[in-house]
Structure 1
Amino acid sequence: MGSVTLNADLHCHSVVSDGTLSPEQLAARAAGNGVELWSLTDHDELGGQERARTAAQANGLRYLTGCEISVTYLDRTVHIVGLGFDADDDTIRQGLRATRGGRELRAREMAEQLAKVGIHGAYDGALRYVGNPELISRTHFARFLVESGVCRDTGEVFRRYLTEGKPGFVPHRWATLKDAVTWITRAGGQAVIAHPARYGFSANEEFALFTDFKGHGGGAVEVVTGSHSAADAERYADAAREWGLAASRGSDFHSPDESHTDLGRLPDLPRDLRPVWDLLADRIQ
């Protein structure tokens, strides 16, 4: 299980958060693509974990519990993936419930902002794409705006409407970095900085993120992920070495129609890095 060449995909999303496939469909797709170790990491939600584990076992996959937790750090949203924790732990469940609580209010404010620029019915439209109303997100709004013909694809929606400074952007205060890392580690798991190249931090800001993450007990960083270029992977492989962090690998797959990288279709981790699944050997189901 310790090999860096293991086809592990430890980051993807189902309809329980903002993906378009069920946990069962994801497990079958992962198995069909040669994945050997899998984790479902829905946003701020553990509701799909039992289904994912059962489906993984039915498809011959080894499984790690997972979740992607939204945190506010330096006034930006950063994602921390938790792997291998006890999904029945009360502290992480209560923390995630509180984190989800702000999403509906934020979504209604987004719809109000979009109505001001002539896009009406966005809240109800976005709800049609939501498997779990507690987890309504920008992605659901994006799908509605594409279906409505306002934009050609979800990328255009984000560029024109849903990023900072655009008419539909509403910030949300998430959990703190310390909260997320503590919830995960106290429940027996490993905390992972997700897709670090996406945040646009300066060198000093990124240094602060890694310092605080490690100080709170974080153990790994995503090196190979769907949104990382080869150069990004090399950069964060260096960061893993510098900070003494294990390396993780995950497609961040959401949908066959939207995701650039399919489940299990990722380069191997660099051979000299310690894979995060080495730290979680006794948590694999």
Structure 2
Amino acid sequence: MNTPLHALSNADLHCHSVVSDGTLTPELLAARAKAHGVELWALTDHDEIGGQQRAINAARAQGLPYITGVEVSVTFAGKVVHIVGLGFDHTNEQLQSGLRATRGGRGARAQDMSDDLARAGIPGAYEGALKYAGNPELISRTHFARFLVESGHCTDVPEVFRRYLTEGKPGFVPHKWATLADTVRWIREAGGLAVIAHPGRYGFTPTEEYALITEFIAHGGRGIEVVTGSHTAADVLQYTDTALEFDLLASRGSDFHSPAESRVDLGKLEDHLSGRLTPVWSVLGDRIHWPSAH
């Protein structure tokens, strides 16, 4: 690695592969990250760490420093919040078991979503979505969205979420995810560090956001995403201040899913972390999988 760990700027610690709801393999993501100048990479599939060894191997083949990652779905204040875990032991049985349990309701939920869409005049949605997911255990709204675009019911994925699959619309079925306490504990006890993902997306009131952050810290959470593919410049400033106020480590990631769908490509985030912040990777040096030449 040419750039010292404390000096790197193009870390991308949030993206998804075909193992969850992305469209590229871990191997193709590693190559894309390297080609786009990523200096430290993490694959953070939803509620699943089955792609981690492939990502480690692929990053090593690209000469790319890698850190293990996952994005866990959590129910908090009636909404789904995402917690990213970084730098954990991906063979940890407790973490694997916890993620398996939180994935467990996806298959039945997907069938209910399909039934609801059928009542709205869209038959065959489960089978159509499954074609994109491959694994019923990991089927998600994103897979349904791709089917609805392919079948001509919507022109793009954003239209799907405006018309379907969100609360109050056809196809929306809530799912109770893991608790914040359990999620942070699984990550910590597997040797990792927990990070609140894209906080600007949740639409919490200031009181609700304060409750999320303080409870997260009370359970041992240590980081927050400041620069992400879904954050505006105003969000970056706001969560820079939040990280400083609560003494949280700052993280950065594109949340890349697909070349055709993602707002920001892997490695192409324009904003960088303020020099006033402590990057999450500054405390994770001993958990990075370095290329053999390091």
Q: Taking structure 2 as the reference length, what is the TM-score of the superposition?
A: 0.96
Residue 29 of structure 1 pairs with residue 54 of structure 2:
no
Residue 149 of structure 1 pairs with residue 152 of structure 2:
yes
Aligned partners of 2:216 and 2:54: how far apart in 1?
Answer: 30
Conserved? CA contact 1:240–1:246, under 8 Å: yes
SS of the residue 2:75 aligns to: strand
Cα shift at 1:175:
0.3
When residues 44 and 99 of structure 1 are mapped into structure 2, their CA distance, relative to the original with a 3 A threshold, is: same
Residue 284 of structure 1 pairs with residue 284 of structure 2:
no
Give matches, 1:42-81, under 5 Å.
Answer: 42-81=45-84
SS of the residue 1:63 aligns to: coil
Q: Pick from 266, 269, 276 the counterpart of residue 272 of structure 1.
A: 276
Aligned partners of 2:63 and 2:222: how far apart in 1?
Answer: 28
Q: Taking structure 1 as the reference length, what is the TM-score of the superposition?
A: 0.99
Gaps of 5+ in 1: none
Give matches, 1:81-160, under 5 Å.
Answer: 81-160=84-163
Residue 171 of structure 1 pairs with residue 174 of structure 2:
yes
CA RMSD, 1 decimal: 0.8
Letter in 2 for 1:117: A
Residue 11 (structure 1) aligns with: 14
Cα shift at 1:4:
5.6
Aligned partners of 1:57 and 1:86: how far apart in 2?
Answer: 17
Gaps of 5+ in 2: 290-294
Aligned partners of 2:262 and 2:153: how far apart in 1?
Answer: 20
Cα shift at 1:131:
3.6
Cα shift at 1:167:
1.0
Residue-by-residue CA offset, 1:41-74 (whole Å, 9 max, x unaligned): 0000011000000000100110000000000001
Instruction: List, as ranges, runs of 4+ consecutive aligned residues in structure 1 with deviation greater than 6 Å.
Output: none
Aligned partners of 1:70 and 1:204: how far apart in 2?
Answer: 21
Cα shift at 1:132:
2.9
Conserved? CA contact 2:8–2:39, under 8 Å: no
Letter in 2 for 1:202: T
Aligned partners of 1:145 and 1:4: how far apart in 2?
Answer: 44
Which is further off, 113-122 or 130-139?
Answer: 130-139
Aligned partners of 1:156 and 1:265: how far apart in 2?
Answer: 24
Aligned partners of 2:37 and 2:183: how far apart in 1?
Answer: 31
